[in-house]
Homo-oligomer: A and B are copies of this chain.
């Protein structure tokens, strides 16, 4: 029997709006076909969130077709039928024999489709950033007369400004992040194994809040003394102790959209150094948020932070954050010195102020925010404090 279409996170018109923005970019680049390989861009344009990107799959957007065509492994076609907004005939499953085949793969099916649909005569955009050189070689060999245009990050840049629908989903994700940070404050205790505390945080990220569960579990970062100078390590097998500091980064997830959040915990009284760093960083955080308004640049926001903390004798070597949405980090606009991307309403960022000061000492705080017509809305709402466990 045919699989039913599942509940849709967004109305059809929302996907058509996104596609029309992409088609406009395609026209600017004089291409009438776009092959989208980036899994997050595919989610954006279709609603597909199943985890099948470890094998080749591609979405073909044709300028003169309303709906795109999704070519993926046959095994995963039912998931696409269930999740995507398109009609059934726009989902094409390629044969299982292409999996782990010695010389062919799913991109051979993509080429077959482009040829059968007569699309290979047009200029075709591809996302070279997401394609291995072996795949690009295959495309150029099998479609020798096609004019290929590199459209790396073209769709990703379209994703930068969210719709109100997307903002609402990110608010839901942010509420889940808040709940996970609050749960951490309940379970981080001396004598508790890091893994056991993390199990509770993970559980909260999945259960969600307000009747809205997390729809995926993103990486949980938990860097505990003596590892607070690291930033991307998960929990360890250690037992938490009086005097331990714990840096946590989580991201609630709804329909692929993330809203990340970092907070620092101290089991027992924080050291003077930690207190001082927190006070300075908090001032920097507030200065950065005050700098957010349409027309200001990413660089302005970052420099408001840098200027504030440097005035107090603290430095942060890394950037202050990045555009955020589907799949956590969007690799486009960056809250860094020199990024002159102008802020627009409904852009969303993770203002990521983790500061790894020494090899063995770091401090984290962050917020997820959106740009509003007049300033900023901070989507995450956890108290901006060192969480002291006493």
Contacts and interface: CB of A to CB of B under 8 A. Distances in A.
Interface of A: 1-4, 6-7, 49-52, 54, 74-76, 78-79, 81-83, 96, 99-100, 128-134, 136, 152, 193, 195-196, 198-200, 202-204, 206-208, 212-217, 219-221, 226-227, 229-237, 317-319, 322, 329, 331, 334, 336, 339, 356, 358-361
B233 A207 contact: no
Given A50-B233, A206-B202, A317 B74 contact: yes
A340 B230 CA distance: 44
A140 to B, nearest CB: 10
7 contacts: A3-B226, A51-B234, A52-B232, A75-B317, A79-B232, A96-B317, A99-B318
A260 to B, nearest CB: 13
Given A133-B132, A329-B54, A75 B6 contact: no
A50 B129 contact: no
B219 A51 contact: yes
Given A96-B319, A202-B206, A231 B76 contact: yes
Nearest to A234: B216
B100 A319 contact: yes
Nearest to A81: B359
A359 B91 CA distance: 13
Nearest to A201: B206
A82 B360 CA distance: 10
B213 A193 contact: yes
A291 to B, nearest CB: 18
Contact of A202 (B193, B203, B230, B358): B203
A51 B1 CA distance: 41
B202 A195 contact: no
B82 A233 contact: yes
Given A49-B233, A51-B219, 4 more contacts: A3-B359, A78-B359, A130-B132, A217-B217
A336 B102 CA distance: 12
A58 to B, nearest CB: 15
Given A198-B206, A317-B96, A331-B100, A50 B134 contact: no
A96 to B, nearest CB: 4
Contacts of A134: 128-129, 152
Contacts of A83: 233
B206 A1 contact: no
A202 B214 CA distance: 13
Contacts of A234: 49, 51, 215-216
Contacts of A78: 227, 229-230, 356, 359-360
